Structure 1
């Protein structure tokens, strides 16, 4: 595949837009007293598909973490009162995580900031995506 200067400019601008969004996200998380990874975990827990709370293994996959790192992150979130651990009903060795009311509140405040930024960025992102066609 041969890439044009236009392709490189589009990729560079898209990467820049993503980096700006991630920078805002990291700053917002820290301002809320969370690490960016803790914020990502809360969002993944809340956004998990399925009727049952998300398991540690699935959450580790969503965050691209090794299981032992996920356990440490879950410990910190539970110790700070943002998540609760729920034993799996079919396998007692497994643990599932759910947001506590405090976790829900913190995530809602952060998510509002993120959605507003995405709405603000929408024209730029749409323009970049349109340039791919």
Structure 2
């Protein structure tokens, strides 16, 4: 069995950290979206088009009615949303701290990988590197 090179090990470690970065970013997006919905249920905006004739003369009168918007916003959502805010904010804070740790570890792994390649230019990894912004 062939021994894995240092460059390959460093590259694999960096790739694993990059995958974790993507996962934690996805979870944060989900938690923030959930938090946005919970806040939206609690703080409903005023009706649209109340001053439509004076603000937008000749505009399309097909503005959704306030009751339609409320129904769509609250469909299937219990009023327990209020009680979720603190838990969701806590989750987002914990995810943010973890994301910062993963980002630091990824930066350190990238530095180690670049330093290794600078010390041993012929020690390129067998696999092609993936840029973090490209997955």
With the shorter chain as reference, the TM-score category is 0.3 to 0.5
Query: Which structure: larger Rg?
Result: 2
Structure with more relative contact order (C-alpha pairs < 8 Å, separation 6 or more): 2
Tell me the TM-score normalised to structure 1 length: 0.36
Higher strand fraction (1 or 2): 1
